[in-house]
Structure 1
Amino acid sequence: MEYIYIVECDSSACFQKKCDLNLPRPVQDAADSKISCSLLNVQDGIDDEACELVSGVELSIGEGVDNIRAYLFKAVKNNNGTGLLLLSDVFGSEDSFTRDFAYRVACNGYNILVPDLFRGNPWTKEQADVFEEWIGRQNPERIAEDISRWTKWLVDEFMAAGISKKLGVVGFCFGGGQVLKVLAQDHGSCFGAGISFYGTRMDPLAASDIKAPVLFILGDNDPLCVVSESQNIQKKIGEGSKVVVFPGRGHGFAHRPGSPEEDVDAEHAYVIMRDWLYDHLVV
């Protein structure tokens, strides 16, 4: 077992800017379900080299009440063929912080799918006084089923095609807790690694069924994700997993940094995540 406390770092940044995008909506048929795609094309004349590295596709599976949506960022240059599942925090898949993070991961050669876990009804800050009521309406069985359907899509798209040997799963906050459930259900068949950023509502009982190494990244000043809880879960998962703790950091610092100091730690957390994915999925 391994616990790491991060004190300082000196690493180079992979900076990206937002792009203006066109969203035409062609439709293509999949083998067992209708998938509608919206190719995301960067407008000419945008002075942003990073935008040339990534394309985006808006996906949906099923129709009516069975319709679920996701967004796929694909590396255009230096694509390593690896598929990743990114599970968002309660602000949902269309949140700019989540999409910016996914875009940046794709810049490093990955194909990263961000499903809409809340079916168009994410939490907003305006609902701060009714959070428990909102989260209570998010059926855990429905969320698990939606994630399973998108996992199957990733398997068909990357593993069945012989591109990826294993998939990876990354999650923030609510999504970080879902990472454990996904890996426990998978039993090591599809996912080769998981990363949980300050996971909430984590189920310790799921740990014994997890067969892939998990990287836990969190701050020691986070009331929603206590260090000892992550360490105990990591012990149950066993050899190969790791807990990385950033002193003084609270919830959300890695993908929602709120100060120059958090920017530095967010960059370090990103590099740790990037190296973990490379070592466990690419090499």
Structure 2
Amino acid sequence: MATLVFHNVVLKDSPLANSKRHQLRFSSAARRSLLPAASRKYAQHQHACLSFRINATSNLSDSQEELKDDVDEACELVKGVELCLGENDDIFHAYLLEAVKNNKGRGILLLSDIFGFQDTSTRDFAYRVACSGYNVLVPDLFRGDPWDKGRPQAELEEWIHKQSTDRLAKDVNTCIKWMIDEFTAAGQPSEKLGIVGFCFGGGWLLKTLANDRQGNFAAGVCFYGTRLNSTLAADVKVPVLFIAGDKDPLCPTSVLMDIRRSLPGSRTVIYPGRGHGFAHRPESAEEDEDAEKAFILMRNWLHDELLRKNN
């Protein structure tokens, strides 16, 4: 069951608003806004994303799906929907960004960093993924209690320990079931999902894939995952693209290499000189350039693993 909240969107300013990575997002802002603002709630619907059924069709040849490095003009055609997932009083929020034009009929579960699903950088990135033709679901992993950048760093470990592993696993599984149910209702029960995770969400990406007994996922992309448990790699059955910087103490490259050796068909890409968060929180023009490269790398990986190999 899911409650819908449809949004008119106000895009916020960014110090990198004129960068290549943000050009399309900001140029289309005046024409169609997509991030959440004040809105009205709709009644509960058994199938929340009816447009999945309308747009979840894809019969694309390799020539039709040739990807380019430039930005797709169709990016402005994305719809944003806020959902309440779960049952009775045990519910949590999520945000769905759905491609309206050139929808590929594939779902992406995006697991955020500690700053949560409402964070501007996370929403911006999810928006760009949706612009590439996907239906992107971003859950509130922390149930309204994300890490606040203004809190003392000494409190971080205590905050992380308050995030119940059982509750997180349950919420992630609820998201998976919701997306699978939507594709089944759309007449595409065999279509598999992709999963993308940043930082904290990257660590949970590995846990989620290791526990994917039903084979719901076809591929993953892990951006500088934290608290990665390399022993889980043996249970992961799908290829994963790992992206990180060699100056990131929270995601040691040695751990990524250990995991990579246990995952046939996977790939690890390390960006020299880059620290934590560069791909979705670039803080300089140089980081922004590598962020753009990392995005294109991710987009091509998802295209190959979700579309070409599954058509």
In the alignment, what sits opposite 2:298?
273
> Are the aligned partners of 2:74 and 2:101 in contact in 1 as well (CA < 8 Å)?
no
- Paired with 1:279 and 1:117, the residues of 2 have a C-alpha distance of 28
Aligned pairs (5 A) from 1:133-152: 133-152=158-177
Q: What are the within-5 Å matches in structure 2 for residues 243-282 of structure 1?
A: 243-282=268-307
Which residue of structure 2 lines up, in the alignment, with residue 225 of structure 1? Answer: 251
* 1:247/1:159 CA distance change after superposition, 3 Å: farther
Percentage of pairs with the same residue: 55
Q: What residue in structure 2 maps to residue 43 of structure 1?
A: none
Q: Secondary structure at the match of 2:261?
A: helix
- Give secondary structure in 2 for the equivalent of 1:119: coil
Structure-2 separation of matches of 1:162 and 1:246: 41
Amino acid at match of 1:126: G
Decide which of 107, 120, 131 is 2:144's aligned counterpart: 120
State the AA in 1 paired with 2:41. R
Residue in 2 that maps onto 1:81: 105
C-alpha distance in 2 between matches for 1:16 and 1:190: 31
Query: Superposition pairs for residues 63-82 of structure 1, below 5 Å?
Result: 65-82=89-106
Where 2:259 maps in the other structure, the secondary structure is helix
| Counterpart Cα distance in 2 of 1:166 and 1:101 | 21
Higher relative contact order (CA 8 A, sep 6+): 1
Preserved contact between residue 121 and residue 280 of structure 2 (Cα < 8 Å)? yes
RMSD over aligned CA atoms reads 2.1
Name the amino acid aligned to 2:257. Q
- Conservation of the 8 A alpha-carbon contact between 1:187 and 1:211: no
Query: Which 5+ residue runs of structure 2 have no aligned equivalent?
Result: 1-19, 51-72
Q: Which residue does 1:240 correspond to in 2?
A: 265
TM-superposed CA distance for 1:23, in Å, is 2.1
Please tell me whether the aligned partners of residues 75 and 128 of structure 2 are also in contact (alpha carbons under 8 angstroms). no
- The residue aligned with 1:23 is 39
Whether the aligned pair in 2 keeps the contact of 1:254 and 1:262 (CA below 8 Å) is: yes
How far does the alpha carbon of each residue in 1:225-281 deviate from its partner, in whole angstroms, 9 at most, with x for none? 0011001011112x2100000000000000000000000000000000000000000
Q: 1:76 corresponds to which letter in structure 2? A: V
- Match of 1:71, SS state, is strand
Shift of 1:175: 0.2
Q: Distance in 2 between matches of 1:181 and 1:160?
A: 27
Aligned partners of 1:25 and 1:36 also within 8 Å: no
Instruction: Tell which deviates more after alignment, 132-141 or 269-278.
Output: 132-141
Instruction: Give deviations 1:26-78, integer Å, cap 9, x for gaps.
Output: 123217xxx699xxxxxxxxxxx767310011111235641111100000111
Paired letter, 1:254: A
Residue 15 of structure 1 and its aligned partner are, at CA, apart by: 2.5
CA contact (8 A) 1:93 1:99 kept: yes
1:55 aligns with 2:76: no
2:244 is paired with a residue of what secondary structure? Answer: strand
TM-score in terms of structure 1 length: 0.85
Alignment partners' CA distance in 2, 1:97 and 1:67: 24
1:77-114 CA distance string (max 9 Å, x none): 11001000000000000000000000011011000000
2:68 match: none
